[in-house]
Amino acid sequence: MDKSAAAEEDDEFFGDQSCDDEFGAAEAEFRDVKTLSYLDGFDETKEEKLQEGFAEGYSQAFNDAFVAGSRLGSIAAKTALCELNKDTKCVTANQPRLHNAASAIHQFLRDEIMIGDEKARESTYEGAFDNLKNKLDSIESDSK
In a domain, 10, yes or no: no
Non-local (6+) Cβ contacts of 117 within 8 A are 111
In a domain, 8, yes or no: no
Give CA–CA dist 96/113, Å, rounded. 25
Mind giving me the DSSP string for 95-136?
Answer: HHHHHHHHHHHHHHIIIIIS---GGGS-SSHHHHHHHHHHHH
DSSP symbol at 8: H
- C-alpha separations of 107 from 19, 83, 92 in Å: 73, 27, 23
In a domain, 36, yes or no: yes
Q: Is the pTM of this model over 0.85?
A: no
pLDDT digits (tens, 9 = 90+) for 57-102: 888 889 999 999 999 999 999 999 999 999 999 889 889 999 999 9
How many structural domains is the chain composed of? 1
For 32, the domain range is 16-142
In a domain, 41, yes or no: yes
In a domain, 5, yes or no: no
pLDDT digits (tens, 9 = 90+) for 24-57: 677 777 777 778 777 788 888 888 888 888 888 8
